[in-house]
Structure 1
Amino acid sequence: MDPETRGQEIIKVTPLQQMLASCTGAILTSLIVTPLDVVKIRLQAQNNPLPKGKCFVYSNGLMDHLCVCEEGGNKLWYKKPGNFQGTLDAFLKIIRNEGIKSLWSGLPPTLVMAVPATVIYFTCYDQLSALLRSKLGENETYIPIVAGVVARFGAVTVISPLELIRTKMQSKKFSYMELHRFVSKKVSEDGWISLWKGWAPTVLRDVPFSAMYWYNYEILKKWLCEKSGLYEPTFMINFTSGALSGSFAAVATLPFDVVKTQKQTQLWTYESHKSLIPRLIKIAPACAIMISTYEFGKAFFQKQNVRRQQC
């Protein structure tokens, strides 16, 4: 083991550095994964036009967001005609006819919540994991499960009211004054708990996913390192572990995802087996990109911290 590696064992990244690493990973994940969902929505809208008031789920690779169709004819990105013949054809025609920026249609508003939620989630997971390992030892296999559950539970709880407000603003075009009156009225009539409407199905899906994801990720990462004869995981080990663990968790929590989607959109037309492949196509690369970028960022900051201490 070289001196730098020994130094990295002692010198950890700070919470701020973890936040920066997770923020970078979140933005990169969104930029890479969002076009897949934009194309999927465009294809679905072509086959089944979206009338005003109908809901659909938009995913930026970090979070699922409920969107409400508005009036606007073909001006709205999800209603533009395309005459697509398939996924690849849709990609090419959107780029050629509308410009490459159209592949990220609808992304900026969703990042306002998705990025902070991801930063909270990953930073809390690492902080909790470090705390539990310092108390219970490095080899406790259930630490990733506990840390993953608590971190995801916290992130969902913080973001849930903001997502409700975002959806309401989009569906009704409220001004900020009208939104304030709406929230005040809702709280006075139904209590503060009403702001967490939709929290339960999200927790039902995301918390088990998080527990399985982190447990499998840590196990796979350790196993791949041992097989490769490495002390520290490489970018590809993190990438592979993230993709596989995300896929396992996606398959296991598919029924919860179907329930959440149906509850959100109030459309009981989806079938589990039809939802599996699109869910895997979305989640596997998102998990792989996010975790490998996050770990790369932490490793970068770790090396910087070692160099600063050695100076």
Structure 2
Amino acid sequence: MPTATTTEASTPPRTAPGLTPMAIATSLLAGGVAGGVSRTAVAPLERLKILQQVSSNGAYNGVVSGMAHMWKTEGMRGLFKGNGANCVRIVPNSAVKFFCYEHMAHGLLELRRTFDQNAEMDVLTRLGGGAGAGIVAMSATYPLDMIRGRLTVQKGGGENYRGIYHAATVIAQREGIGAFYKGWLPSVIGVIPYVGLNFAIYETLKDQTVKFQGLNSAAELSVLSGLVCGGIAGAVGQTVAYPFDVCRRRLQVSGWAQAGVAKGPVYTGMLDCFRKTVAEEGVTALFHGLSANYVKIMPSIAIAFVVYDQLKIILKPEVKITG
């Protein structure tokens, strides 16, 4: 049976990802480290984005002014508030996402080959693999994302959460288990184009760069080339999915009295959130924080992809199915 290739001349044959314990551990380790490194590197911008999404405080408008305000009012700790919870979430999320992408993309390719034995890895197959991987990873770690969101936006004073465990306990007692999945639906809808496009664009750009530079395989690409491909992929994916991210954050803090932001309406669900946000603040409110996110998402996604690729090359390159 033919192997999955995107270029016959420049890219060597790709085989199915291994399912041995070592191969699984390698993939999960590489994905987890990639997620933790990339998110910590842009943690201050991540917090600023969330504050812009849920707050009407004009002090957070703009990247430079918002960062300056956080530094002035909360210091260095304020810049990284919520990053511990974010890493607790993003490490397993990233590990599962990269692992599932490799196997889902290959599974879709094998499915296509039942109809066409000459089928090769293409943009749509990568898009489907990325979308499926994003849904699985996001759903598996969503309660941690919800807790991280609240830890990120709270300010000093009042009945604040003291940490991840305390937040989880208080939320469960006061709001019920269902509160951990506030905003889950828009997250599912948003993750499909976001993660799908990230993987599809990144891998396709790498293949095209390999051809353009006359290399033998994507493993020969420079780190800079990988960062550029990852940055473009992150920017495109985030732009498409951003309104759903805003909706998710607003639903997560909806009705939470201790939020350190201006009190807003209580939403009954995703559609109600979109309706009230647009009616009361305009369509542009669905893109609050996008400027900060562009500054954050391009290096974040780029770093994640490059760290993952480099670790897989060092640890066990033969289990890779992507360039």
Contact 1:18 1:298 in 2 (8 A): yes
Q: Hey, what does 2:8 align to over in structure 1?
A: none
* Partner Cα separation in structure 1 for residue 180 and residue 49 of structure 2: 30
Aligned pairs for 1:65-104 within 5 A: 86-87=64-65, 90=68, 94=71, 103-104=79-80
Indicate whether 1:220 and 2:205 are aligned.
Answer: yes
Given the alignment, which residue of 208, 229, 234 partners 1:246?
A: 234
Q: Hey, what does 2:82 align to over in structure 1?
A: 106
Indicate whether 1:151 and 2:139 are aligned.
Answer: no
Aligned residue identity for 1:301: L
Aligned pairs for 1:105-254 within 5 A: 105-135=81-111, 136=113, 137-164=119-146, 173=161, 183=172, 196-233=181-218, 234=221, 235-254=223-242
Compute the TM-score of the two structures, normalised by the length of structure 1: 0.66
Q: Hey, what does 1:285 align to over in structure 2?
A: 299
Q: What is the DSSP-based 3-state SS (H/G/I as helix, E as strand, rest coil) of the residue aligned with 2:316?
A: helix
Aligned residues: 262
| Distance change >3 Å, CA 251–CA 183, structure 1 → 2 | closer
Q: What is the DSSP-based 3-state SS (H/G/I as helix, E as strand, rest coil) of the residue aligned with 1:105?
A: coil
| Distance change >3 Å, CA 301–CA 198, structure 1 → 2 | same
Q: Hey, what does 1:27 align to over in structure 2?
A: 36
| Distance change >3 Å, CA 141–CA 177, structure 1 → 2 | closer
* Partner Cα separation in structure 1 for residue 182 and residue 56 of structure 2: 31
Q: CA deviation at 1:21?
A: 1.0
Contact 2:40 2:87 in 1 (8 A): no
Q: Hey, what does 2:3 align to over in structure 1?
A: none
Q: What is the DSSP-based 3-state SS (H/G/I as helix, E as strand, rest coil) of the residue aligned with 1:142?
A: helix
RMSD: 4.4
Q: What is the DSSP-based 3-state SS (H/G/I as helix, E as strand, rest coil) of the residue aligned with 1:138?
A: coil
% identical aligned pairs: 22
Q: CA deviation at 1:166?
A: 6.5
* Partner Cα separation in structure 1 for residue 309 and residue 105 of structure 2: 15
| Distance change >3 Å, CA 227–CA 179, structure 1 → 2 | closer
Aligned residue identity for 1:111: C
Q: CA deviation at 1:243?
A: 0.6
Aligned residue identity for 1:90: A
Indicate whether 1:296 and 2:274 are aligned.
Answer: no
- Deviation string, structure 1 residues 152-198 (Cα, Å, up to 9, x no partner): 111122122444567789877599799679748977xxxx8675332
Contact 1:39 1:90 in 2 (8 A): no
Of 236-245 and 105-114, the range deviating more from structure 2: 105-114
Indicate whether 1:259 and 2:247 are aligned.
Answer: yes
| Distance change >3 Å, CA 148–CA 94, structure 1 → 2 | same
Of 232-241 and 199-208, the range deviating more from structure 2: 232-241
Higher RCO (Cα < 8 Å, 6 or more apart): 2
* Partner Cα separation in structure 2 for residue 115 and residue 123 of structure 1: 12
* Partner Cα separation in structure 2 for residue 161 and residue 182 of structure 1: 11
* Partner Cα separation in structure 2 for residue 196 and residue 11 of structure 1: 32
Q: CA deviation at 1:244?
A: 0.4
Q: Hey, what does 1:62 align to over in structure 2?
A: none
Structure 2: give runs of 5+ residues left out of the alignment.
1-10, 114-118, 255-263, 265-276
Q: CA deviation at 1:256?
A: 2.4
Indicate whether 1:14 and 2:23 are aligned.
Answer: yes
Aligned residue identity for 1:132: L
Compute the TM-score of the two structures, normalised by the length of structure 2: 0.64
Q: CA deviation at 1:303?
A: 5.7
Contact 2:171 2:179 in 1 (8 A): no
Aligned residue identity for 2:42: V
Q: CA deviation at 1:290?
A: 0.5
Contact 1:18 1:123 in 2 (8 A): yes
* Partner Cα separation in structure 1 for residue 67 and residue 169 of structure 2: 44
| Distance change >3 Å, CA 277–CA 134, structure 1 → 2 | same
Contact 1:8 1:302 in 2 (8 A): no
Q: What is the DSSP-based 3-state SS (H/G/I as helix, E as strand, rest coil) of the residue aligned with 1:260?
A: helix
Aligned residue identity for 2:241: T
Contact 2:12 2:216 in 1 (8 A): no
- Deviation string, structure 1 residues 15-62 (Cα, Å, up to 9, x no partner): 211111112211211221113335677999999399xxxxx9xxxxxx
